[in-house]
A and B are shown apart, each in its own frame.
Chain A
Amino acid sequence: MTGNANAMARILPRLRHHGARSLGTLAVAVLMFAGFSLTAERFGSLPNILNLAKQMSIVGVLGIGMTPVVLIGGIDLSVGSVVLLGGTVAGALLMDGAAAWLAIPAAILTGALVGAGNGWLIERLRVSPVIVTLATMIAVRGLGLVGLERFRSWIDVSNPTFDALGVGSIAGIPASAAILLVIALLGIAVLRLTIFGRQLYAVGDNEAAARLSGVAVTRVRIAAYVICGAMAGVGGILSMVRTAVVSPSIGVGLEFSAITVVVLGGARLSGGVGRIEETLVGTAILVMVLNFLTINGIPGTWQTTVTGALILLAVLLKRGLAYRSAR
């Protein structure tokens, strides 16, 4: 009797909970890859796979940054604008003769500062994160444009370090993809192995219980926004690496891609559920779909619509899974 109950308690939850959702997303990605490879002959080729990895880097890094924010039940709409501001700060420093080792951290720090501002406004002034980050999304893009004006709104990035990051590879993996991988591994370690990581989940799952368990809720939340901002700063650098320019339009709409990949991965927007591994899978799904459309000659203008449709699809799919697992 007890033995049976124990065995049931051991097996059932795992099947119901972790298994279904995580494997579900990964399975979708694998099936998609297989299907696309079969229908578009170039899709599965090594050069295209490396291209996919490169394309994943910017959205992936932004998604990794967005993950802790979604985990605490927040949202950050300003990351696309931070990509521009971070890129502008780094580009301006390069133009003024600074070295890459100074320009890169400056962009990341800029992002972290914007994140700190977001967190402070949300937590201390108790304004909704949608409103706060909508405001900073506009204001920060404005700041980036003002900074860029000094250079006639266009900076050509010609720096050996940035050039090397753009064309170089490590063990066959493009440098930008390698950067994504390293950041992902670091992020996974933080979420899984540190107190802060656990606290992110606890705050998102049940804020009151977290507070009564001794978690400094406000501090944890602000930290999530700081991380998100810093990752957007990294996104600014990766954008410069990829296009070799800083122009007024960089980062536009990226905030939605970042949120999309987190949701595609299976995270819950109300907080408490989500993983960086899954955000990466979500990124892969988004990039594969867009890449498949491009290969098949569907114009880029359609890609935004597809992104929106994907969010809806992911949410519906998840609800179906949740329904089944509740049975």
Chain B
Amino acid sequence: MGPQPPATVMTDSLLEMRGISKSFVGNPALIDVDLAVRRGEVHSIVGQNGAGKSTLMNVLAGVLRPEAGEIRIDGRRIAIANTADALRLGIATVYQELSLLANLSVAENIFLGRTPLRGMLIDRRKMEADARAVLEQVGCGDVDPRLPVGALPLARRQFVEIAKALSHEPSVLVLDEPTAPLGREEADRLFRIVAALKARGVAIIFISHRFAEILQHGDRVTILRNGRVVETLDMNGVTEAMLTERMIGGSAESFYAAHHPPEIADATPAAELRNIGLAGRLRDVSLAVPAGRIVAFTGLLGAGQNELARILGGDVVPDQGEVTRAGKAVDHDPRAAIRAGLCLLTEDRKAEGLFLDLSVRENITLPSLGALLRHGIIDGAAERRAVARSIDQLSIVATPTAPMRTLSGGNQQKAILARWLLRDLAVLVLIEPTRGIDVGAKADIYRDLEALARLGKAIVVISSDVPEVLGIADEIVVFVAGVIHARFVRGQVTEEELNLAIQGKE
């Protein structure tokens, strides 16, 4: 906790925001926030989820109106009533959630709402030529502006999004998590574009969870915590630890000990879902599943979270998009998924999980028999040992030879869990894993999932039980109508907020 920063000298600033306050239903989201951005600088904004970054940027973009404060450009006070005002005043924003329409062409997207006309008709030729020109600027001269955006890979869309922002010839460009969907090479290309804009005097506001990018490419950084500015720092000499400390208002170590690391974006992805589309169910969903974490997918019934889980497990074939593990595409088939270490446990134990008339032992070892062979036949002794270990580990109340149908629901669920734990899995996907299970077995299953996450496995839990989600998840992904609506990190969302998000509200 440093002293309040001295009032910045703002004479050289292109954009000044002063004393901005904004609250939602009485909860302050921004309190007296000052931000000054210079011409030709990359100004980073950091803060935990809920610190106020997005709210501040929404005020700037004209999406939200502040209750107090003023905004000046070139020293002139301006009023931003809506997004069109912001664009006209030279403030363009590239949002984290891509805002392009998949069925329209690249050119139509870029010039949406301001298509060049010739008489009463759209001047396609001009529109496409202009689109080409801005695409050129972002190094996408090879993209055909007539193609529907849906035909482009996600990374390419991010650049189209930037081209769209640049077509407004902004003096202030806001980039909200622009590198999230990009690979390393593409991120480098993005930073080359940023450098070129910087050289032209554009002020760039850069929001990222990736500290390395901020430290490398930022000129200054403003840290937000709980809706207030903690400090604005020159990047010289700033370290990651300094940023973390100021973000969380305490030493980094105590925080990491108390919770799992908050930098979800930095965790190694155990598997990735890219541009997943499924007719009527999922629209262009991309998501990285981080190793060593419990991620919960939640949402209303039919919001797409179950389908995404089944696609991850190879059960459902998506209409578009791919599942990758360690950079390699995984076939949409349960066998291929299991071989790649992606294991699925569905909500319908009886119909899709259990072999009721086979023994507990046979139920547990079926997918792992390949590892229990000796001279091509099943090594009975090894199998018995493996099953005895599983039964012990998961405290299953049953004998290995008992038919599965004689077990209680909780023990059946544990046995299916044991089935996957026998394998060297990377990602365990569980749909409603505690539905219809007694309290004791529930607690056991939570404990097992946490232990697995600590071992570095990626755990994906699909649950519609809000307290369960809040209790076990390191990260929460909320689905609404087939898209990712919101994401939260452990401890940074209340039950009420999560419920609102599930309903599709902010």
Contact = CB atoms under 8 A, between A and B. Distances in A.
B25 to A, nearest CB: 44
A195 B370 contact: yes
A197 to B, nearest CB: 8
Chain A contact surface mostly: helix
B401 A209 contact: no
B89 to A, nearest CB: 55
Contacts of A199: 366
B377 A194 contact: yes
Contacts of A194: 376-378
Given A202-B358, A205-B355, 18 more contacts: A5-B397, A10-B399, A13-B401, A13-B402, A13-B406, A195-B370, A198-B365, A198-B378, A201-B358, A202-B366, A205-B358, A206-B354, A206-B356, A209-B354, A209-B355, A210-B355, A213-B338, A213-B367
Contact of A212 (B315, B358, B362, B401): B315
Contacts of A198: 362, 365-366, 369, 378
B399 A9 contact: yes
Contacts of A126: none
A213 B416 CA distance: 10
User: Which residue among A9, A10, A201, A272 has the maximum number of chain B CB atoms within 10 Å of its CB?
Assistant: A9
Contacts of B403: 13, 17
B378 A214 contact: no
B356 A12 contact: no
17 contacts: A5-B397, A9-B406, A13-B399, A16-B406, A17-B402, A198-B362, A199-B366, A201-B362, A205-B355, A205-B357, A206-B351, A206-B352, A206-B355, A211-B315, A212-B346, A213-B334, A213-B366
Contacts of B192: none
A265 to B, nearest CB: 15
Contacts of A6: 397
A198 B377 CA distance: 11
Contacts of A234: none
A214 B406 contact: no
A16 B355 CA distance: 17
Contacts of B369: 195, 198
Contacts of B355: 201-202, 205-206, 209-210, 272
B277 to A, nearest CB: 23
A214 B357 contact: no
B353 interface: yes
Interface in B441-498: none
Contacts of A16: 406
Nearest to A208: B352
A193 B378 contact: yes
Nearest to A211: B334
A14 interface: yes
Interface in B357-381: 357-358, 362, 365-367, 369-370, 373, 376-378, 380
Interface in B386-406: 397-399, 401-403, 406
B402 A214 contact: no
B354 A214 contact: no
B218 interface: no
A213 B397 CA distance: 22
A195 B344 contact: no
Contact of A272 (B344, B357, B402): B357
Interface in A164-216: 189, 193-195, 198-199, 201-202, 205-206, 208-216
Interface of B: 313, 315, 334-335, 338-339, 344, 346, 351-358, 362, 365-367, 369-370, 373, 376-378, 380, 397-399, 401-403, 406, 419
Contacts of B358: 201-202, 205, 272
Contact of B366 (A193, A215, A216): A215
Interface in A239-285: 272-273
Contacts of A195: 369-370, 373, 378
Contacts of B365: 198
B378 A208 contact: no
B443 to A, nearest CB: 16
Given A195-B369, A202-B366, A216-B335, A9 B398 contact: yes
User: Which residue among A5, A202, A212 has the maximum number of chain B CB atoms within 10 Å of its CB?
Assistant: A212
User: Which residue among A198, A199, A213 has the maximum number of chain B CB atoms within 10 Å of its CB?
Assistant: A213
Interface size classification for chain A: 20 to 34
Interface in A292-313: none
Contact of A214 (B335, B380, B397): B335
Interface in A11-27: 12-14, 16-18
Nearest to A273: B357
Interface in A115-166: none
Nearest to A16: B406
A151 to B, nearest CB: 42
Nearest to B378: A193
Contacts of B334: 211-214
A18 B335 CA distance: 31
A209 B355 CA distance: 7
A16 B401 CA distance: 12
A9 B339 contact: no
Nearest to B334: A212
A202 B361 CA distance: 12
A17 B404 CA distance: 11
A77 to B, nearest CB: 25
B362 A214 contact: no
B378 A212 contact: no
Contacts of B370: 195
A208 B401 contact: no
A211 B351 CA distance: 11
Nearest to B313: A212
A221 B176 CA distance: 53
Nearest to A5: B397
B428 to A, nearest CB: 13
B351 A208 contact: yes
Nearest to B373: A195
A191 B354 CA distance: 20
B336 to A, nearest CB: 9
Contacts of A211: 315, 334
B270 to A, nearest CB: 19
Q: Can you list the 8 inter-chain pairs with the closest CB atoms, starting with the nearest?
A: A13-B402, A214-B338, A205-B355, A193-B377, A13-B406, A10-B399, A195-B369, A214-B335
A10 B358 CA distance: 15
A10 B397 CA distance: 10
B425 to A, nearest CB: 12
B408 to A, nearest CB: 10
A214 B346 contact: no
A13 B359 CA distance: 10
Nearest to B398: A9
Nearest to B349: A209
Contacts of A10: 399, 402
A106 B57 CA distance: 79
A5 B406 CA distance: 13
Contacts of B356: 205-206
Contacts of B397: 2, 5-6, 9
A267 to B, nearest CB: 12
Nearest to A195: B369
Contacts of B366: 198-199, 202, 210, 213-215
User: Which residue among B334, B354, B397 has the maximum number of chain A CB atoms within 10 Å of its CB?
Assistant: B334
B395 to A, nearest CB: 10
A10 B406 CA distance: 11
B27 to A, nearest CB: 44
